[in-house]
Amino acid sequence: MVLKSIKRKFYYLFALVFTATILLIYSVVIQPLNCETTELVIPQGSSLGYVIDELKRCKCIKNGEYFKYLMIITSKDTKIKPGTYDLSPVENNYELSNLISTGTGEMITVSTLEGWSIDEISRMFFSKFDIDQEKFKKLCKDEEFIESLGISSNSLEGYLYPETYMFSKDFIYSKNKEVEIIKTLVNEFKIKFKKASKGRYSHDLEMHEILTLASIIQGECVYSSEMDTVSSVYHNRLAIGMKLQADPTIQYIIPGPNKRLYNKDYHRYKDNPYNTYSHNGLPPGPINNPGFDAIKAAAFPAKTDFLYFVAKGNNQHHFTTNERDHINAKNKFLKEVWDKY
């Protein structure tokens, strides 16, 4: 009798668990959807929480926690793809989770290049999404907005990471597209900076200083293979209190495209804090938006004794350890370089 009672309780418990499991599966996975809106727009960089809020707004899901657990259990929570999705053929949560994690939405590609300035980036996004360029540039100088992004700077120059981004085709109709674009680029910067610096540095420079140095390296180098050596020159100069004397910082001060520099250019802007010929140390901030290799080189310079380098005319540089050798290298290479201008 005792054995039969135990079996009966076991079967009852099994039936209860089985029924609860079926109900849970129905609620979480196959519960029919009845979306009021048939189009779902997921911007670049959207989190699972953002997507769930949008699905609730569209009345597609009743319980956000169920959908959240489904995405996590199926490892799709980190695979959300931006795009514009047609929800009309979607019948349940499982199909919905597949849809937004496979990237079938219509997209527009936007590419920004290493070394571009805020102005150049704003022009690119204007050409794609007709953004308000003045609003974009003003936001990049708005210290309260910058602080809200977790950045300690008075400008976002340097923090708009150069990359190829994907935005939904309907992003052009977004009311806050300037804000969303900036947030997307800054979030990408945070990810890439952490990876490039490995969360640590081989010296005492802080993030803003590394980024500032990286922007100078980006302005100097065409080939990434030279970047850590160029970085070593600047680190060596900083260590002994020698002026950086970096031409890209002078080009940054002078309006318009890069041009041949003369002695008058170095002296005309001697009071400008970005003039590394007249001011010691790093300039106040980045002079462009550097890429991964430049950031990595700034964080981890090569170990050299070099204090000088000069362009050779083939997009590469000749490095020297003393002023005499540097002057000889300038006499050899510099005339050929400037003859091209």
pLDDT digits (tens, 9 = 90+) for 34-89: 787 777 878 767 788 888 888 888 888 877 888 888 888 888 888 888 777 878 88
Task: Please say if the pLDDT value at position 22 is more than 50.
Answer: no
Q: What is the four-CA torsion angle of 48, 52, 54, 55, rounded to 10 degrees?
A: 130
pLDDT value at residue 244: 98
The pair of structure tokens assigned to 239 is 């260590």
Look up the CATH superfamily of 26-101. Answer: Endolytic murein transglycosylase (3.30.1490.480)
Percentage of the chain beyond pLDDT 70 is 86
| Per-domain boundaries in the chain | 26-101, 107-197, 207-338
HEC string of 127-194 equals: HHHCCCHHHHHHHCCCHHHHHHCCCCCCCCCCCCCCCEEEEEHHHHHCCCHHHHHHHHHHHHHHHHHH
Look up residue 31 and give its amino acid. Q
> Is residue 335 exposed (0-12), middle (13-18) or buried (19+ Cβ within 10 Å)?
exposed
Determine the distance from the C-alpha atom of residue 7 to the mean position of all C-alpha atoms in its chain, rounded to a whole number: 61
pLDDT range class, residue 227, cuts 50, 70, 90: very high
pLDDT value at residue 23: 41
Task: Please say if the pLDDT value at position 261 is more than 60.
Answer: yes
Instruction: For strands 164-168 and 308-311, give the pairing.
Output: unpaired
Comparing 37 with 249, the larger pLDDT belongs to 249
pLDDT value at residue 27: 44
pLDDT range class, residue 95, cuts 50, 70, 90: confident
Mean pLDDT of the chain: 86
Enter the DSSP assignment of 31: P
Within 10 angstroms of residue 338's Cβ, the number of other Cβ atoms is 13
pLDDT digits (tens, 9 = 90+) for 165-202: 988 777 887 788 999 899 999 999 999 999 998 866 66
Distance (Å) of CA 281 to CA 27, 173, 288, 293:
62, 45, 18, 22
Instruction: Decide: helix, strand or coil at residue 42.
Output: strand
Distance (Å) of CA 317 to CA 137, 231, 306:
34, 13, 12
